[in-house]
């Protein structure tokens, strides 16, 4: 009697069908595990950033890293991701109108969270979420990609007249110009620089300090929601890049901005006390107040502060 070697067609079909079913069952589990792993890794980086911030604060009289705007639009959320000038050869630093000493001044200039990298408190890798798209990890994410100084984590800035406590003369009469006034008066500078305004402007830089971690800031009534206050020592300080945007290159020497959510509808949020929380968007608290390739938000007249404040207050409530 001859022995049958191999499988029949029916048996092969049954085996393949079983493998397909098992794969279909396993893939969501693997995907879920991978998401959890990247969320945990991202949270770890935020804790590293917090350690860097606290070290910076200790050496800078309780002041947070300087907040600087990124371009002439003075968009608050865009500035939160920004870390350097438009291109390495720039000698005019937007927001302070200060001149660098040489054609490569922009290579060494850092702002916002990149100040921590420049001063050696953290590595540049700590500012990029491990699950971010590849273009956000290789320096092509920023509106200013030639310097590669871009963080997927957004730094918070309180849209508050209280930032002018030491220089009320710079406030101006219009809340809509709050961020513009702060930037033009060179608020947030670490060291005075020679500028077009000479000595007077240098003095202004000293009079407009950085945000302090031990003070409360009353958010402007025009954009406030929630409790209307910001306490950098306990409220949301830094978060995954919720400002999803895709700007195409234009003719005015600007560059595409590539920013997107790294964890679908979830966000790791760092609070001033060092806690990290994973917050899920309910569909009504983050997405409606975010630019994306599919939609552009209407100009709110306050540098997008009304949108960002809604998101930050939502994050505050999750602590």
Within a domain: 3: no
> Which range in 69-73, 173-177, 224-228, 289-293 is most confidently predicted, on average pLDDT?
173-177
CB atoms within 10 A of CB 218: 14
Average the pLDDT over each of 57-61, 84-88, 227-231 and give the range with the smallest value.
Answer: 84-88
Task: Round the average pLDDT of the chain to a whole number and report it.
Answer: 75
Mean pLDDT score, 37-50: 91
- The whole-angstrom separation of Cα 36 and Cα 40 is 6
pLDDT digits (tens, 9 = 90+) for 98-152: 444 444 555 566 778 888 988 899 998 898 888 876 666 665 555 555 566 778 8
Nearest one of 122, 161, 136 to 270, comparing CA atoms: 122
Average the pLDDT over each of 50-59, 216-225, 254-263, 272-281 and give the range with the smallest value.
Answer: 254-263
Confidence class for position 202, pLDDT limits 50, 70, 90: very low
Within a domain: 108: yes
> Which range in 39-53, 96-110, 288-302 is most confidently predicted, on average pLDDT?
39-53
Within a domain: 1: no
Within a domain: 78: yes
- Give CA separation, 288 vs 2, 6, 92, 284, 291, in Å: 71, 59, 35, 6, 8
Contacts for 61-65: CB closer than 8 Å, 24+ residues apart: 62/212, 62/213, 62/214, 63/209, 63/210, 63/211, 63/212, 63/213, 64/210, 64/211, 64/212, 64/213, 64/232, 65/112, 65/113, 65/115, 65/116, 65/155, 65/210
Mean pLDDT score, 18-28: 75
Within a domain: 175: yes
Mean pLDDT score, 73-86: 72
Within a domain: 44: yes
Confidence class for position 90, pLDDT limits 50, 70, 90: low
- The whole-angstrom separation of Cα 280 and Cα 65 is 27
pLDDT at 303: 83
pLDDT digits (tens, 9 = 90+) for 243-279: 655 555 444 444 444 445 778 788 899 999 999 999 9
pLDDT at 260: 56
- The whole-angstrom separation of Cα 148 and Cα 215 is 32
Please state the domain count of the chain.
1
pLDDT at 251: 41
Rounded to 5 degrees, what angle do the CA atoms 64, 68, 74 make? Answer: 140
Confidence class for position 59, pLDDT limits 50, 70, 90: very high
- The whole-angstrom separation of Cα 121 and Cα 137 is 20
Which range marks the domain in which residue 188 is found? 9-316
Helix residue ranges, H only, 175-241: 178-184, 198-207
pLDDT at 143: 52
Within a domain: 2: no
Stated length of the chain: 319
Whether 213 contacts 197, CB under 8 Å: no
pLDDT at 304: 85
Does 24 score more than 50 pLDDT? yes
């Amino acid at each position: 009697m001859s022995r049958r070697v191999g499988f029949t067609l029916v048996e092969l079909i049954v085996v393949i069908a079983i493998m397909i079913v098992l794969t279909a069952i396993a893939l969501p589990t693997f995907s879920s595990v991978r998401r959890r792993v990247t969320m945990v890794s991202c949270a770890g980086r935020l804790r590293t950033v917090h350690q860097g911030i606290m070290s910076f604060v200790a050496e800078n009289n309780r002041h947070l890293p300087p907040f600087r705007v990124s371009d002439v639009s003075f968009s608050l959320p865009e500035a939160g991701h920004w870390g350097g000038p438009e291109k390495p050869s720039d000698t005019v630093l937007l927001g302070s109108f200060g001149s660098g000493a040489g054609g490569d001044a922009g290579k060494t200039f850092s702002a916002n969270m990149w100040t921590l990298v420049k001063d050696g408190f953290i590595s540049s890798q700590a500012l990029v979420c491990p699950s971010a798209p590849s273009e956000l990890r290789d320096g092509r994410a920023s509106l200013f990609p030639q310097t590669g100084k871009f963080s997927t984590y957004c730094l918070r800035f309180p849209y508050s007249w209280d930032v002018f406590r030491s220089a009320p003369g710079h406030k101006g009469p219009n809340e809509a110009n709050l961020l513009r006034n702060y930037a033009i008066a060179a608020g947030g500078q670490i060291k005075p620089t020679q500028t077009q305004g000479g000595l007077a402007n240098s003095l202004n830089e000293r009079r407009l300090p950085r945000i302090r971690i031990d003070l409360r800031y009353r958010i402007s009534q025009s954009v406030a929601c929630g409790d209307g206050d910001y306490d950098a020592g306990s409220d949301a300080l830094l978060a995954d890049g919720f400002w999803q945007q895709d700007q195409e290159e234009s003719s005015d020497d600007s560059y595409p901005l590539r920013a997107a959510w790294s964890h679908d509808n979830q966000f790791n949020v760092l609070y001033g006390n060092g806690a990290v929380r994973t917050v899920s968007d309910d569909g009504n608290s983050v997405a409606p107040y975010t630019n994306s390739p599919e939609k552009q938000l209407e100009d709110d007249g306050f540098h997008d502060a009304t949108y960002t404040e809604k998101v930050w207050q939502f994050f505050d409530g999750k602590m």
